[in-house]
C-alpha cells in the first residue's frame, strides 16, 4: 500500500512539542516527497493548567487527550508524543504505530549558582514537575526544599533565572532538542535519578483502524528503543501506572538482552524500593512484569496505596 497523499500531525503548541512534530514531519517528507505533511498545533489542558501539579489535575494524559480527540474527529491523522507522557493503557481504538530512536533519556540539573546537586546548601530550593524526580531527590538530599515547577522548558528556565529556585531538574532530551545544551549544569546518571518510562523517546499515535498510516510510519521506528520502552512501560502498567505514582524505569541493551531497572518511592523520599532483571529483548513485557513482581515483593503496593490516599 502506498503512502497517504496527505498526513496531518496533531501536536501540542509548545516550542518543544513543535520541534518534535517538525522532526517527524521532516522524516516523513524525506520518505514520501509527494506527501503533503502538515502540523496542527493544539493547546491541551495539561499546558493550560499551570497552578497545580499534574498529579492533582489528572496526570500526564492531559497532554494527550486533545490530540486523540483530533484523530477521532478526523482533524489529524497522527499525533506525536513524548512517550513518557503517554498513559500506560491507550483508549480503545488507538495504537502507538512507531517509537522512534531514543535521545538522551537522563535527567539533568540546571543551576546558575551551584555546580551539582551535592553542592546545594541546606534549605536550597529545587524545582521539578515530577513526583518521580521529587521522590528520588528527597531520598538523597533530605535537607533541600523540593517545590513544584510547571510550564514549558523556557518558562521553567525563566523562573530559575528570576531567582525563584536555586536549581531545577529537567529532561536532557528537551534541552538538547531546543539547542539549550549550554544550560545543563550536570547530567544525572540513572543511578542518581532513574528516568521515567519512555523518557527521551518519541511515539507516533494513530487510530488502530488506519493500517495505511501504521504502514507509512513503520520505517521511523527503532527496534531497540521500542523493546526498551515496552519493557519500561510494562513495569508501570503492572503496578497500576498512574501519574500519582513516583516510578522510574530504564532499560538498556546488553548484547542481545535487556537489563531493566525500576524504582518506586514515596514522594517524601522516606521509602524507596528498587529492582532489576535481565531478559530476552523479544519479550519486553515479560521482563517488565518480572521487575514489577520484584518491586511488589519489597512493598511497592503499600507505597502506591499510601500515595493514593
Q: What pLDDT is recorded for position 43?
A: 78
Q: What pLDDT is recorded for position 54?
A: 46
Beta-carbon contacts of 179 under 8 Å, excluding residues fewer than 6 positions away, are none
Question: Cα(128)–Cα(215) distance, rounded to whole angstroms?
Answer: 38
Question: Cα(223)–Cα(23) distance, rounded to whole angstroms?
Answer: 19
pLDDT in tens, 60-88: 556 788 899 999 999 999 999 999 989 99
For the chain, give every domain's residue range. Answer: 6-103+197-221, 107-187, 232-302
Domain 232-302's class? alpha beta
pLDDT of 2 higher than 70? no
8 A C-beta contact, residue 172 and residue 200:
yes
- The architecture in CATH of the region 6-103+197-221 reads 3-Layer(aba) Sandwich (3.40)
pLDDT in tens, 222-231: 999 999 999 9
Query: Any catalytic annotation for residue 107?
Result: no
Q: What pLDDT is recorded for position 151?
A: 86
- What is the separation, in whole angstroms, between the first and last Cα of the chain? 51
pTM, two decimals, is 0.92
pLDDT in tens, 5-36: 999 999 999 999 999 999 999 999 999 999 99
Is there a shared CATH topology between the 6-103+197-221 domain and the 107-187 domain? yes
- The architecture in CATH of the region 107-187 reads 3-Layer(aba) Sandwich (3.40)
Residue from 47, 77, 85, 107 carrying the catalytic annotation = 85
Read off the pLDDT of each residue in 294-306 and give the average, rounded to a whole number: 92
8 A C-beta contact, residue 100 and residue 216:
no
Amino acid at each position: 500500500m502506498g503512502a497517504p497523499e496527505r498526513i496531518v500531525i496533531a501536536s501540542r503548541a509548545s516550542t518543544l512539542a513543535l520541534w518534535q512534530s517538525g522532526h517527524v514531519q521532516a522524516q516523513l517528507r524525506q520518505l514520501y516527497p509527494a506527501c503533503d505533511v502538515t502540523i496542527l498545533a493544539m493547546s491541551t489542558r495539561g499546558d493550560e493548567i499551570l497552578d497545580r501539579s499534574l498529579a492533582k489535575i489528572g496526570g500526564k494524559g492531559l497532554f494527550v487527550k486533545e490530540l486523540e480527540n483530533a484523530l477521532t474527529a478526523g482533524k489529524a491523522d497522527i499525533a506525536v508524543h513524548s512517550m513518557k507522557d503517554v498513559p500506560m493503557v491507550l483508549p480503545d481504538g488507538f495504537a502507538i504505530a512507531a517509537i522512534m530512536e531514543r535521545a538522551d533519556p537522563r535527567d539533568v540539573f540546571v543551576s546558575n549558582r551551584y555546580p551539582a546537586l551535592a553542592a546545594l546548601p541546606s534549605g536550597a530550593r529545587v524545582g521539578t514537575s515530577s513526583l518521580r524526580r521529587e521522590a528520588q531527590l528527597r531520598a538523597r538530599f533530605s535537607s533541600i526544599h523540593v517545590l513544584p515547577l510547571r510550564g514549558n522548558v523556557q518558562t521553567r528556565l525563566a523562573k530559575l533565572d528570576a531567582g525563584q529556585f536555586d536549581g531545577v531538574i529537567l529532561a536532557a532530551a528537551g534541552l538538547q532538542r531546543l539547542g539549550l545544551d549550554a544550560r545543563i549544569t550536570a547530567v544525572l546518571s540513572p543511578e542518581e535519578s532513574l528516568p521515567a518510562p519512555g523518557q527521551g523517546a518519541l511515539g507516533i499515535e494513530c487510530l488502530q483502524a488506519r493500517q495505511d498510516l501504521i504502514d507509512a510510519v513503520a520505517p521511523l521506528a527503532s527496534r531497540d528503543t521500542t523493546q526498551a520502552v515496552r519493557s519500561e512501560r510494562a513495569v508501570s502498567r503492572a503496578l497500576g501506572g498512574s501519574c500519582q505514582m513516583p516510578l522510574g524505569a530504564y532499560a538498556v541493551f546488553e548484547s542481545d538482552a535487556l537489563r531493566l531497572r525500576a524504582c518506586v518511592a514515596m514522594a517524601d523520599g522516606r521509602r524507596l524500593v528498587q529492582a532489576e532483571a535481565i531478559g530476552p529483548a523479544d519479550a519486553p513485557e515479560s521482563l517488565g512484569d518480572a521487575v514489577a513482581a520484584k518491586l511488589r515483593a519489597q512493598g511497592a503496593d503499600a507505597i502506591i496505596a499510601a500515595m493514593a490516599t
